[in-house]
Amino acid sequence: AKSWINIRKSYGNFYKVPRNQTKLTIMLEKLGMNYDGRPHSGLDDSKNIARIAIRMLQDGCELRVNERMHAGQLMTVSSSTPLEGAPAPQMPRYRN
């Protein structure tokens, strides 16, 4: 793979949250989701990242390639058209 979507970057840009709020468990928590599976399991992490991506698409995010490798170096891919973001996700409110 020479180009990909970094969900942490996309999440932070779309929901307008700082990088320290883009850890997998924090993203899931802010979206009102629980972590499914065993922590640090590659397969389970992938499934949870996919759940976040689906939620972002449902919230109106247009996921785009935002990183690539060029001459052995990691490069950020900037978009020529800025995307509108959504407000930061809020914890669901439960009624008693």
94 falls within a domain? no
Tokens 């020529």 sit on residue: 80
Tell me if the pTM is above 0.75. yes
83 falls within a domain? no
pLDDT value, residue 90: 63
69 falls within a domain? yes
Averaged pLDDT, 17-26 = 94
Runs of H (alpha helix) within 35-92 = 42-58
pLDDT exceeds 50 at position 69: yes
Domain count, the chain: 1
Range of the domain at 11: 3-76
pLDDT exceeds 90 at position 15: yes
57 pLDDT band, cuts 50/70/90, is: very high
**How far is 4 from 87, CA to CA, in rounded Å?**
24
39 pLDDT band, cuts 50/70/90, is: confident
